Amino acid sequence: MTNIYVGNLSYRTDENELRELFAQYGEVSRASIVKDREHNNRSKGFGFVEMEDAQAAQKAIVELNDKEVGGRKLRVNEAQPREARPPRRAFAAE
């Protein structure tokens, strides 16, 4: 199974549209859009797609990265596990 990060989504894109976009490449086991709980569950403009077949996932990544969807160029790549991502910087007010 391959987990794919999809960034720069239109705020109007919903999970069904995201699933349909990737389903043309293979079986999608899950599609989710990250929501901002503090602002009426509005989309944060990115999400994740899980695909069963690694080859289909790689084809989707190559073909959908930089593709314009909903007026925005998508950023599509294999999602990094949380522990593999660089740490976020914390900014403190003085």
- pLDDT tens profile 30-76: 999 999 988 888 999 999 999 999 999 999 999 999 999 999 999 99
Question: Percentage of the chain with pLDDT > 90?
Answer: 79
Q: Are the C-beta atoms of 45 and 9 separated by less than 8 Å?
A: yes
pTM of the model: 0.84
The sign one gets for the Cα dihedral 77, 79, 84, 89 is: positive
Domain range enclosing 33: 2-78
Residue of 29, 55, 14 lying closest to 63 (CA atoms): 55
pLDDT higher than threshold 90 for residue 88? no
Instruction: Count the domains in the chain.
Output: 1
CATH of the domain at 69: 3.30.70.330
Sequence-separated (6 or more) residues with CB below 8 Å from residue 81: none
31 within some domain: yes
